[in-house]
Amino acid sequence: NYVMEKTLVELPLDLKKKLNVFLNTSKYIINSAVAIEKEKRTSTVDLHNILKEQININKSVNNKLHYVHVKPVYNDICNIIKKYIQGELKLSGNNLYPNPGWMNWHTNNNYPGTRCYFTYVKDINKSCFKYYNLKEKKVITDVDNSECILRKFVVNEDNPFWHCVESNTTRLSIGFHVT
């Protein structure tokens, strides 16, 4: 429960074209100010107390991201994911990170189970997914070193999976709960 699985994904050209529309236009963005207000988390303070000096939280408590309508690419992305992960997929997050963008430390343990995130970036090596490995007691930085990445991890109340995102490029991340 303390690790994250990562898979580099090759995408068909037509899906890449569709995803680039998300990276280059705001037409799919939902009212971000309202959505971000709902997503503010007090757990950032809790994590800071847990990790003490091991991390540097230099961002504000607010996340910097947009929520997007993913219906135009939803079925295509699900078909790609099903090549790598077994189970039913239920949409749990649809985030477009601007440059710069981030989501603060959180656990999602209010919605336990297996999670997977489909990530598509404009520029490789300019964004990352960070998580805290409780067993090793350290922060792991997993760089987005490919245009498209699929990450999977388990979230539960007993073993919180602390994670966050930092991005210095435009980054689309679509999350799923796997059952």
The predicted structure's pLDDT at residue 108: 81
State the Cα–Cα distance between residues 116 and 38, nearest whole angstrom: 22
Nearest to 84 by CA among 150, 136, 39: 150
Q: What are the CA-CA distances from residue 172 to residues 6, 55, 70, 94, 158 (Å)?
A: 16, 25, 10, 8, 29
pLDDT for residue 43? 39
For residue 80, the 8-state DSSP code is H
pTM metric for this prediction: 0.79
Specify the pLDDT at position 49.
44
Residue 22's pLDDT is 73
pLDDT tens readout for residues 11-51: 999 999 888 887 777 655 654 444 444 444 433 444 444 44
pLDDT in tens, 3-21: 789 999 999 999 998 888 8
SS3 111: coil
Q: Which residues of the chain are under the pLDDT cut of 70?
A: 1-2, 26-64
> Which residue type does 34 have?
V
> d(Cα 93, Cα 121) in Å, to the nearest integer?
16
